[in-house]
Amino acid sequence: MALHTIKRGPYEAVIDSKGAQLVSLKFEGYEYLWQGDSRWWTGHAPILFPIVGMLRGDAATSAAGPVSLKRHGIARNYEHAVLSKGQSTVTFELNADEGMLERYPYPFRLRMTYALSDDGLTQSFEVCNTGDDPMPFVVGGHPAFNVPIPRTQGAFEDYQVRFEDTWTYATPWMDKVNGLIDYGSFTPIVDGEDAWQLDRAPFDHEAIVLEDVPGSTVTLTKDGAHGVTVTFADFKYLGIWSPSDAPLLALEPWVGIATCLDEDDVFEHKRNMQVAAPGETRTFSFTIKPF
C-alpha cells in the first residue's frame, strides 16, 4: 500500500493504493472525511465493485458461471497500480486475476480516477469488459464524513441532508443480518420537504436507500455555512448510513443495490444491473465539494 496526495487550491486529497480508497479530503486545512475508528468503522470511503451491498448467501448464478462475493465486492480488497499521477489528479488500475475470476467470472479492467478542480473532488469509475461475454456489474462509492462538520458544533441530530427540491420518499428496510432489502416495509424520510433532519431511528434498519434523488445532489450541513455537497448524476441510488452512535454520516452514490427479498439469485436480474459488451468501457463519476 502507498498513499498518494493530490492538491489544488484549498483542496487536498489522499488516496491509498490498497483498494484505491480515498482516506483524506481537506478543505482549507480542515478534514471532512471520516478518519476511521475501531469503535464504529475503520473504513473511510471504499470503492464498491462489481456489487453494492450483499448477495443472498454471498452467492448468485450468472451466464458465465457461479458468482461468490461478500459485501461490496472485491475491488476494495486489492492493491491498485498507479497508472498516472499529476499534481491534482491520480488514476489507479486493477485487472482481474485468477483469484478474482474464481469469484466473479468476468474478466475486467477497473480504473479509478480522483481529480481535484474548483468544484471539489471528482471520483470516476472506468469499467472495461476485457472478456468475450456480456459483463453484468454495478459500482458505488462509500465516502463517510465527520459529524460535527468542521468549523461547526452540535449534536448529530442538529444536522440535515438537504435536497435540491421538495419531495416525498420512504426508504425500504435493510436487514442488518443478511443485508437484503425489503421493498415490502418502509420508513418515511421526507414528506413534501427539501431536507431530512438527521435521526438515528431509520438506521435501526441498517442503511437508508434513496432512489432518484431530486437533482442527483445532496448537501450535508447544519446552517448552510459549512458542509459537503455530493453530486451524482450517473448513480440512480444514494445510500445513507451511520453505525450506532458514530460521529459520521456516509453518503454513498450507488448504481445498483443489494439483493432484494423479491428478487431471485440470478446475477443479471438485480435491480439496475449494468451490462458492458465485450470490449466496452463504461464510466461513472460523482463529485464531493466540501465548503
pLDDT digits (tens, 9 = 90+) for 200-213: 999 999 999 999 99
pLDDT, one tens digit per residue, over 119-135 is: 999 999 999 999 999 99
CA distance 259 to 181: 6
CA distance 208 to 186: 10
- Cell of residue 84, nine digits: 498516472
- Cell of residue 260, nine digits: 432484494
How many C-alpha atoms does 192 have within 13 Å on its Cβ side?
0
- Cell of residue 244, nine digits: 450506532
Whether 256 contacts 237, CB under 8 Å: yes
Task: Indicate the class that CATH gives domain 3-290.
Answer: mainly beta
For the chain, give every domain's residue range.
3-290
Confidence of residue 177 (pLDDT cuts 50, 70, 90): confident
In which residue are the cell numbers 461513472 written? 284
Confidence of residue 1 (pLDDT cuts 50, 70, 90): confident
Nearest to 71 by CA among 149, 167, 140: 140
In which residue are the cell numbers 465539494 written? 289
Edge-to-edge order in the sheet of strand 30-31:
3-8, 11-16, 21-27, 30-31
